């Protein structure tokens, strides 16, 4: 009589192994925030103050490490959206989510590459799972702001990541010139999303002068990927 094959038992990591895993993930988040996803496993091991062999035991390659970090960052973005939903005023909740997500992006180059780059556009694996987790909570933010009459009715859920891409590019251009000027342009975008065209929010930062604009445009160059 045939019997079903037993399912393999997945044992939790030992406490010290889990601490190492968390330490590596935290170090990777910091290194990628500073240097982008081109940083190497050797650099991450050095920052975590562990041997590179320890990194490879937890993560067989950099892609596996990035996938695990991707899951962590998805948790963070979903948390920001849920914070927005907890705010009673729908417009304030939507603004909170968009601004908080951009603030994280402004501080973290790696986060932008993880959540707004090719990885999120992939059609399988963690990218699909990430989109499936983020999309419903952002949709709720958008729909309740439209139902409230504060968000223009022709705005779409898919506009929200594009707004982050657009303002995120500005973050990159102006990072070394004026790291707060993105808030000025973000406020202009927000006013464009409002259903009430007569509402004008005071701009929270002054404009760049001609020299600052020239420096921003001349000083930005994409960082080359490193193995």
CATH at 212: 1.10.357
Q: Is 30 exposed, middle or buried (0-12, 13-18, 19+ CB in 10 A)?
A: middle
Q: Does 174 fall in a domain?
A: yes
Q: 77 is in which domain, residue-wise?
A: 69-219
Structural tokens at position 73 = 């960052």
Q: Are residues 55 and 129 in the same domain?
A: no
Q: What's the total number of domains in the chain?
A: 2
- 9 pLDDT band, cuts 50/70/90, is very low
CB 201 within 8 A of CB 193: no
Q: Does 227 fall in a domain?
A: no
Q: Are residues 27 and 88 in the same domain?
A: no
Q: Are residues 92 and 29 in the same domain?
A: no
Q: Are residues 55 and 73 in the same domain?
A: no
- Summarize the confidence of residues 124-152 as an average pLDDT: 88
Q: Are residues 56 and 82 in the same domain?
A: no
Q: What pLDDT is attached to residue 222?
A: 47
Torsion on CA atoms 132, 135, 137, 143, rounded to nearest 10: -140
Q: Which percentage of the chain shows pLDDT scores above 70?
A: 80
Q: Are residues 205 and 109 in the same domain?
A: yes
Q: Reduced to 3 states, what is the DSSP secondary structure of residue 165?
A: helix
Q: Does 224 fall in a domain?
A: no
Q: Does 122 fall in a domain?
A: yes
Structural tokens at position 104 = 């994280």
Residues 6 or more apart in contact with residue 136 via CB below 8 angstroms: none
Read off the pLDDT of residues 201-222 as tens digits, 9 standing for 90 and up: 888 888 888 888 788 777 655 4
Q: Assign residue 22 the CATH number of its domain.
A: 1.10.10.60
Structural tokens at position 7 = 């399912």
Structural tokens at position 85 = 């939903």
Q: Are residues 120 and 197 in the same domain?
A: yes
Q: Is 65 exposed, middle or buried (0-12, 13-18, 19+ CB in 10 A)?
A: buried
Read off the pLDDT of residues 17-75 as tens digits, 9 standing for 90 and up: 778 888 898 898 888 877 878 888 999 999 988 888 888 888 888 888 888 888 888 88
Q: Are residues 156 and 54 in the same domain?
A: no
Domain final residue pick, 60, 77, 98: 60
pTM: 0.74
Q: Which percentage of the chain shows pLDDT scores above 90?
A: 32
């Amino acid at each position: 009589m045939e019997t079903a094959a037993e399912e393999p038992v997945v044992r939790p990591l030992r406490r010290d192994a889990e601490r190492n895993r968390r330490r590596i993930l935290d170090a990777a988040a910091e290194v990628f925030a500073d240097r982008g996803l081109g940083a190497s496993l050797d650099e991450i091991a050095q920052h975590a103050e562990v041997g590179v062999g320890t990194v490879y035991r937890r993560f067989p390659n950099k892609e596996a490490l990035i996938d695990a970090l991707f899951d962590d960052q998805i948790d963070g973005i979903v948390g920001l959206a849920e914070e927005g939903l907890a705010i009673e005023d729908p417009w304030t909740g939507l603004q909170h989510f968009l601004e908080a997500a951009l603030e994280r992006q402004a501080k973290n180059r790696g986060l932008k590459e993880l959540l707004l780059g090719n990885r999120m556009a992939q059609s399988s694996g963690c990218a699909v799972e990430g989109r499936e987790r983020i999309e419903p909570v952002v949709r709720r933010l958008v729909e309740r702001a439209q139902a409230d009459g504060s968000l223009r009715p022709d705005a779409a859920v898919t506009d929200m990541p594009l707004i982050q891409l657009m303002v995120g590019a500005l973050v990159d251009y102006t990072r070394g010139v004026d790291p707060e000027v993105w808030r000025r342009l973000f406020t202009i975008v927000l006013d464009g999303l409002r259903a009430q065209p007569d509402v004008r929010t005071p701009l929270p930062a002054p404009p760049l002068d001609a020299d600052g604009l020239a420096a921003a445009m001349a000083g930005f160059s994409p960082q080359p990927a490193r193995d």
